[in-house]
């Protein structure tokens, strides 16, 4: 009898990378041998194809009367495996890679065993399972999916991500999707995605959608020069309390001339971050005292800024906040890192739910692109946020790159018994 096993007639378990055949009746005890007459395999599209393919089956290996295949490793040790056959590269070019069985092979079965389900999976020569379906290749470094996981999983430490790459997040004055040059009525967060965090204009036509000057792929907002003065965006209830420890990241580009005083971002309970006389400073909410932390900010320059805070002791209606500011001066030829720290005194009465970009006292003279609010002090999470935003400034992809000509795997086995 000839038994044909094909990918098209199997059930594929993507999680286990395994193909299954559920038989309507068991292989009976009178089946003594299975002979793989032919076996051909075309793998799913990948960037690098192995020089050989191992065909594996736990079911058929368990049915074997004796060890069917052993893989010899260094030191002469052999290990039991699920391998039932090795396929060799038959022909290949840029669009076609095919592996096949060099010669028929026979598997002697334990006639006392029964089976009504057969599994087949494929590995490279090192034993790594191969995908049955095409999987788009991710670029190096953090992906958008990593930020999504940080937001959704566990404690969800990534609390807010306003993504300038998400065109639909910018709402024009007439409630349509804003385009370059349109005034921006609202900027909706990508995460959370339920529109519970939406930053709104301070006045009609006050904020405009634009791009960074040096990296024009990067969308940004700034004050509309013909729409008014002292304009900003705000969210007066982000629907959660900002944590006592966290970081705020922002892609930020300076103007061709720096205002003597410009508020960049403020969270009433934890930080008031300003550009003051060419320096980045932290301002105390209790008495307004300035603490310069990064000096000599350049004009017409992109920066990635991190405000990292830890709430300290409280007394007399105020509390201390130990804050570190990390500024990355962005340059395609090599970034420059600056850091500075200060302890500010903030009012206990300052709400933990208010967040705004600039304010009515200064306006948004610089350009603001994507920003992230992160809880906690995980170095992994912090590095992911930083590296992700730098990738976007460099216009590097943060989503898997789909090959339009990619194919899923396909295979055919002819078994005789």
Span 298-345, pLDDT tens digits: 999 999 999 999 999 999 999 999 999 999 999 999 999 999 999 999
Lowest mean pLDDT among 131-145, 185-199, 270-284: 131-145
pLDDT value, residue 67: 74
Sequence-distant (≥ 6) Cβ neighbours of residue 165 within 8 angstroms: 219, 370, 392
Tell whether omega for the bond before 356 is within 30 degrees of 0, i.e. cis. Answer: no
Phi, psi (rounded to 5 degrees) for 277: 55, 45
Both tokens assigned to 410: 């396909």
**C-alpha 45, offset from chain centre:** 22
Residues 92, 360: Cα–Cα separation, whole Å: 65
Share of the chain above pLDDT 90, in %: 78
Q: What is the pLDDT of residues 77-135, one digit of tens each?
A: 666 689 999 999 986 655 678 999 999 999 888 767 777 889 999 999 999 999 999 99
pLDDT at 220: 98
SS3 for 392?
helix
> What's residue 114's pLDDT?
72
Number of H helices, E strands in the chain: 3, 29
Q: What are phi and psi of 27, to 5 degrees?
A: -65, 120
Q: Is the pLDDT of residue 376 over 90?
A: yes
Name the residue with higher pLDDT: 229 or 199: 199
What integer pLDDT is reported at residue 92 of this predicted model? 62
Domains in the chain, CATH or no CATH each: 2-137 (2.60.120.1100), 144-393 (2.60.120.200)
Rama region for 334: left / alpha / beta (φ>0; ψ in -120 to 50; rest): left
Strands (E), 256-384: 261-267, 271-276, 279-283, 290-294, 302-315, 318-329, 336-347, 355-357, 367-375
Report residue 387: phi and psi, to 5°.
-65, -35
**Does residue 155 register a pLDDT over 80?**
no
Which residue reads 């990241």 in tokens?
Answer: 249
């Amino acid at each position: 009898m000839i038994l044909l096993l094909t990918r098209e007639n199997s059930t594929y378990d993507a999680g286990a990378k395994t193909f299954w055949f559920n038989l309507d009746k068991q292989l009976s005890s009178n089946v003594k041998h299975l002979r793989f007459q032919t076996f051909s395999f075309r793998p799913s599209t990948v960037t690098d194809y192995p020089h050989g393919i191992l065909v594996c089956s736990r079911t058929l290996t368990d049915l074997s009367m004796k060890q069917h295949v052993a893989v010899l490793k260094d030191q002469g040790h052999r290990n039991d495996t699920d391998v039932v056959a090795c396929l060799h590269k038959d022909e290949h070019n840029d669009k076609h890679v095919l592996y096949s069985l060099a010669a028929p092979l026979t598997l002697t079965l334990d006639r006392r065993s029964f089976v009504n389900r057969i599994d087949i999976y494929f590995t490279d020569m090192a034993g790594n399972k191969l995908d049955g379906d095409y999987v788009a290749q991710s670029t190096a470094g953090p992906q958008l999916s990593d930020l999504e996981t940080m937001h959704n999983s566990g404690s969800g430490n990534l609390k807010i991500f306003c993504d300038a790459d998400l065109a639909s997040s910018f709402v024009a004055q007439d409630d349509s999707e804003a385009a370059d040059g349109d005034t921006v009525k609202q900027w909706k967060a990508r995460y959370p995605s339920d529109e519970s965090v939406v930053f709104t204009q301070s006045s009609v036509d006050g904020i405009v959608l634009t791009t960074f000057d040096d990296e024009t792929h990067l969308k940004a907002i700034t004050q509309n020069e013909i729409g008014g003065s002292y304009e900003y965006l705000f969210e007066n209830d982000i629907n959660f309390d900002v944590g006592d420890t966290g970081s705020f990241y922002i892609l930020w580009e300076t103007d061709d001339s720096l205002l003597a005083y410009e508020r960049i971002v403020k969270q009433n309970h934890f930080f008031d971050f300003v550009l003051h006389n060419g320096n980045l400073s932290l301002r105390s909410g209790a008495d307004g005292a300035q603490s310069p932390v990064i000096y000599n900010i350049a004009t017409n320059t992109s920066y990635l800024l991190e405000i990292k805070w830890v709430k300290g002791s409280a007394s007399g209606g105020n509390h201390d906040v130990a804050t570190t500011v990390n500024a990355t001066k962005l340059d395609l030829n090599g970034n420059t890192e600056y850091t500075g720290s200060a302890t500010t005194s903030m009012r206990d009465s300052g709400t933990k739910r208010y967040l705004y970009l600039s304010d009515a006292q200064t306006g948004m003279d610089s350009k603001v692109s994507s920003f992230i609010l992160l809880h906690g002090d995980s170095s992994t999470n912090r590095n992911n946020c930083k590296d992700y935003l730098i990738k976007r400034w460099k216009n590097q992809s943060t989503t898997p790159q789909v090959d339009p000509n990619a194919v899923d795997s396909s295979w055919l086995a002819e078994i005789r018994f």
